[in-house]
């Protein structure tokens, strides 16, 4: 029995596909029956399956071409019409295939008499695994419904092959459609630590066993309910508090709402369900297509639109998975989160339920990295093709020290990492024993070790690691994880809680550092060509004084009767600090005029991140109360290398002679101005870098909680004067880095790093 083209062919194929996969026949026989059945249902003269093997597309099964061409016809990655479909990840529907410029004639196939060609990509995650093709002798363009039907079949075929429903395909020229072999992916370690666990996908696939819908009407009702939830959540973002949205941020959400209400998106989803797919499988098909198109898109605007569509697909998947409104994913006890990238609010939603995080993108200074450090879990980023190489439930070893992820590791690899974990536990016990020991070098130099923080979770580590205070509290996290501008009372509450948790230990609050690449969704902003050098941090605060004054007012009220330290980020010239300090003094006068006592002691400082202010330290004498170096930004501006750009971020080293001489200059200028100076960048928490800083005369270091133990162990075994002599001798080096020299000296002197 055949079905007229475009009249429910997908439903016919779905019904017969179930029968084929449940037989006990060999995989090749199942594929042969499948192409024969598709050709019959589509009323096509030819149906062929090409699967990708390395950089080759190999003919794996055909109905209508010569049988002897199977496993003999192999096309290069971008060769022929099949290569074009795989390259673009989009259907190709043409009436006269031989006249197409990309047509590649292969005489062994016997495809001479066939003109009409329809090829659709076989996609899963972000990878194109092959191409499904139908052909006809008559020159014709296939209907939209026929294209949809073949896409549906390709998606279900991929999921069923991945689930093993076609048996083991490894014998058929070692095609691997579902990752199963051990793999080692090398990226960058952004948060230290080791973890052994199971993969949890931040954007999960549809359950492989739920590809088909037993009751299409019920599935369509589920789809309608999930779509309504997605649209309602977007509407609420826009309408609940319209005053907080303006300019570009509102336009972005309005565009997003338009996409969510797009009739073509909904129609494609519903056609999938009516053809026999489950609602999840229909959404999975749409997401796979959008991802594949985004990967191949060269146009930035098209990529952005595909990213928005993929986000909608993900929201729909979560809504389908949680019809009761709880979108939180149930996690195993050993969950390792897998994502392309993730924002701070999303990562906080998972919280301490995770063992680790693995990302395709990410950065050393990203807020997800900072959150991971606060949670005390390893984070490894820049793992190329991670999403395409891992399945939910796969065992993973995550190595934040070496920046590696081991997927489906061999038993001996797991044993080796378990031994390393035991060593880390023993090391942690050693750090705990030295928690209350003084941070003093062998030759008597006293070093203050402080914490970098941005969450209450960070502050709780103070007592655990024995830090003497908080050298940097990043206030922007409260703003970034909120869906609206935090009210004054909410800011007061957070700052009060931080000061109460710190007790008698000092806390330095850095005022809001947003703008540039850290855009708050509820604040209007303009796209900048170079956001790192743009309108951000104190520049924004001075031009938006209401925002800065509200935050300063909250800090003053929260610190009533206590010691308050306020630090301004990205000060470039002294006048910026003078203007900002004047604003603080005005707010203090207002508070006192209202009968408030105000802080028992107020200190206001400058964060040295722009090289220009390093040459203006003398002007700050008598005006500022303290200085603190943010090495992350200072070094990116010093070397003119964007620390968020993986192509250049590793092309400089703070342990180079020019950088060390600059840091020595800043320390000398601060001493001449009589201003206390600390370092609160990432370098302070790394034993080797901290050793160099101590050698240069720095005695106040602020770092993530995980850095306190290793740095204290290092400095308690260090002769600071001897280290000073070594660093001074290396300042004339012409090599790009003196890192190896310093490490060799430390090893010879038994200084643990």
Which residues participate in catalysis according to the annotation?
Answer: 367, 680
Strand partners, 354: 335
- The backbone torsions φ and ψ at residue 337, rounded to the nearest 5 degrees and listed phi first, read -80, 135
The rounded radius of gyration (Å) of the Cα atoms in the chain is 30
Question: Residue 434 and residue 431: Cα distance in Å, rounded?
Answer: 5
**Three-class SS of residue 356?**
strand
Question: Residue 282 and residue 159: Cα distance in Å, rounded?
Answer: 12
Contact indicator for 612, 573 with CB cutoff of 8 Å: yes
Which among 4, 50, 40 has a CA at the least distance from the CA of 20?
Answer: 40
Which among 62, 722, 35, 58 has a CA at the least distance from the CA of 445?
Answer: 722
In terms of Cβ atoms closer than 10 Å to its own Cβ (0-12, 13-18, 19+), residue 425 is exposed
Question: Residue 450 and residue 434: Cα distance in Å, rounded?
Answer: 15
| Residue 128: CB atoms within 10 Å | 22
Residues 6+ apart with CB under 8 A from 673: 617, 618, 620, 621
Question: Residue 748 and residue 380: Cα distance in Å, rounded?
Answer: 31
Contact indicator for 56, 74 with CB cutoff of 8 Å: yes
Question: Residue 14 and residue 157: Cα distance in Å, rounded?
Answer: 10
Q: What is the crossing angle of helices 144-162 and 263-274, to 10°? A: 60
The conformation of residue 440, written as its DSSP 8-state character, comes to B
Secondary structure (H, E, C), 580-608: HHHHHHHHHHHHHHCCCCCECEEEEEEEE
**Three-class SS of residue 354?**
strand
Strand partners, 650: none
Query: What is the Cα 427 distance to its own chain's centre?
Result: 29
Question: Residue 526 and residue 529: Cα distance in Å, rounded?
Answer: 10
Residues 6+ apart with CB under 8 A from 510: 472, 473, 474, 475, 567, 568, 569, 607
Strand ordering across the sheet containing 46-53: 74-76, 56-63, 46-53, 127-136, 116-124, 92-94
How far are the Cα atoms of 42, 185, 248, 609, 649 from residue 530, in angstroms, in the given order? 53, 31, 18, 17, 15
């Amino acid at each position: 029995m055949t079905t007229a083209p475009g009249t429910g062919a997908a439903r016919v194929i779905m019904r017969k596909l179930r029968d084929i996969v449940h037989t006990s026949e060999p995989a090749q026989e199942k594929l042969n029956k499948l192409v024969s059945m598709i050709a019959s249902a589509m009323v096509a003269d030819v149906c062929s399956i090409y699967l990708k093997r390395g950089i080759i597309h190999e003919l794996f099964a055909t109905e209508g071409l010569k049988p002897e061409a199977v496993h003999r016809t192999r096309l290069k990655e971008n060769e022929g019409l099949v290569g074009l479909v795989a390259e673009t990840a989009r259907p190709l529907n043409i009436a006269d295939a031989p006249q197409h410029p990309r047509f590649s004639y292969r005489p062994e196939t016997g495809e001479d008499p066939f003109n009409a060609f329809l090829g659709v990509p076989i996609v899963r995650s972000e990878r194109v695994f092959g191409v499904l093709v139908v052909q006809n002798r008559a020159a014709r363009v296939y209907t939209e419904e026929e294209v949809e039907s073949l896409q549906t079949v390709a998606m279900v075929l991929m999921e069923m092959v991945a689930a093993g429903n076609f048996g083991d395909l490894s014998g058929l020229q070692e095609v691997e459609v579902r990752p199963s072999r051990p793999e080692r992916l090398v990226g960058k370690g952004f948060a230290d630590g080791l973890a052994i666990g199971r993969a949890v996908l931040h954007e999960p696939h549809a359950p492989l066993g739920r590809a088909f819908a037993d009751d299409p009407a019920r599935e369509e009702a589920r789809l309608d309910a999930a779509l309504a939830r997605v649209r309602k959540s977007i509407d609420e973002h826009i309408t609940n508090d319209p005053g907080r949205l303006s300019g570009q941020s509102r336009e972005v959400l309005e565009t997003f709402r338009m996409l969510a209400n797009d009739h073509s998106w909904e129609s494609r989803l519903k056609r999938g369900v009516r053809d026999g797919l489950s609602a999840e499988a229909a959404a999975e098909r749409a997401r796979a297509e959008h991802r594949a198109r985004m990967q191949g898109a060269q146009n930035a605007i098209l990529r952005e639109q595909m990213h928005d569509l993929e986000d909608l697909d993900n929201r729909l998947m979560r809504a389908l998975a949680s019809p009761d409104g709880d979108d939180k994913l149930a996690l195993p006890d050993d969950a390792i989160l897998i994502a392309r990238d993730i924002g701070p609010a999303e990562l906080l939603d998972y919280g301490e339920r995770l063992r680790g995080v693995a990302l395709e993108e990410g950065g050393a200074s990203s807020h997800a990295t900072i959150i991971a450090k606060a949670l005390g879990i390893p984070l490894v980023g820049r793992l190329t093709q991670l999403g395409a190489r891992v399945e939910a439930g796969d065992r993973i070893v995550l190595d934040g020290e070496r920046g590696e992820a081991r997927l489906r590791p061999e038993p001996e690899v797991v044993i080796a990492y378990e031994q390393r974990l035991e060593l880390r536990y023993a090391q942690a016990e050693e750090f705990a024993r030295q928690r209350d020991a003084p941070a003093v070098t062998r030759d008597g130099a006293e070093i203050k070790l402080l914490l970098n923080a941005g969450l209450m979770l960070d502050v709780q580590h103070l007592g655990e690691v024995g830090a003497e205070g908080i050298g940097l509290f990043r206030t922007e996290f409260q703003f970034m994880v909120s869906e609206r501008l935090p009210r004054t009372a909410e800011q007061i509450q957070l700052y009060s809680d931080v000061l109460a948790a710190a007790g008698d230990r000092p806390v330095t609050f850095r005022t809001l550092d947003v703008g540039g690449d850290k855009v708050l969704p509820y604040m209007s902003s303009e796209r900048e060509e170079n956001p790192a050098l743009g309108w951000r941090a104190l520049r924004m605060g001075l031009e938006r004084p209401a925002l800065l004054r509200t935050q300063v007012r909250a800090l003053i009220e929260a610190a009533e009767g206590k010691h308050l330290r306020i630090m301004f980020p990205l000060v470039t010239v002294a006048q910026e600090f003078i203007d900002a300090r004047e604003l603080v003094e005005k707010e203090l006068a207002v508070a006192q005029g209202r009968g408030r006592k105000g802080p028992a002691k107020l200190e206001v400082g400058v964060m040295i991140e722009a090289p220009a202010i390093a040459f203006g330290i003398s002007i700050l004498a008598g005006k500022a109360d303290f200085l603190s170096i943010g090495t992350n930004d200072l070094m990116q501006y010093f070397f003119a290398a964007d620390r968020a750009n993986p192509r250049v971020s590793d092309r400089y080293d703070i342990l180079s002679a020019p950088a060390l001489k600059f840091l020595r200059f800043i320390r000398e200028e601060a001493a001449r101005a009589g201003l206390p100076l600390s370092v609160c960048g990432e370098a302070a928490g790394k034993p080797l870098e901290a050793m160099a800083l101590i050698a240069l005369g720095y005695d106040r270091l602020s770092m993530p909680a995980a850095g306190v133990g290793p740095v204290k162990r290092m400095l308690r075994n260090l002769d600071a004067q001897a280290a000073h002599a070594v660093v001074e001798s290396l300042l004339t080096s012409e090599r790009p880095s003196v890192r190896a020299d310093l490490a060799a000296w430390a090893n010879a002197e038994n200084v643990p790093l």
